[in-house]
Amino acid sequence: MPSRFRFCDRCAVSGLSELERLATAIETRWPEILACIQTGITNAGSESTNRVIKITVRDACGFRNPENQRLCTRCATTRRGRA
């Protein structure tokens, strides 16, 4: 029996709701987890860009001109602007 199935089985029979949710999450997301393990490719870059955009938009709430807010966001998310 592979260790992933043994782990999920032990979590499921533990009686702890947190471990049951963990086992469910692992089983639900297993194709994505396996793809990351096999290829080494993640979505970390896009998640980082989204975080920078959210922070910049939050900081730029005082802009009265939407064009200035867009330019500020674009500047913050380009490599030249972050260097």
Q: Are 60 and 31 in a shared domain?
A: no
Q: Are 56 and 32 in a shared domain?
A: no
The residue with greater pLDDT, 30 or 70, is 30
Q: Residue 82: its pLDDT value, please?
A: 54
Provide the domain limits for residue 18.
3-39
Q: Residue 38: its pLDDT value, please?
A: 93
Using a cut of 0.85, tell me whether the model's pTM lies above it. no
Q: Which residue in the block uniquely carries the two structure tokens 């490719």? A: 41
Number of structural domains, the chain? 2
What is the tens place of the pLDDT at every residue in 41-76?
888 888 888 888 888 777 766 667 778 777 877 777
Q: Are 33 and 50 in a shared domain?
A: no
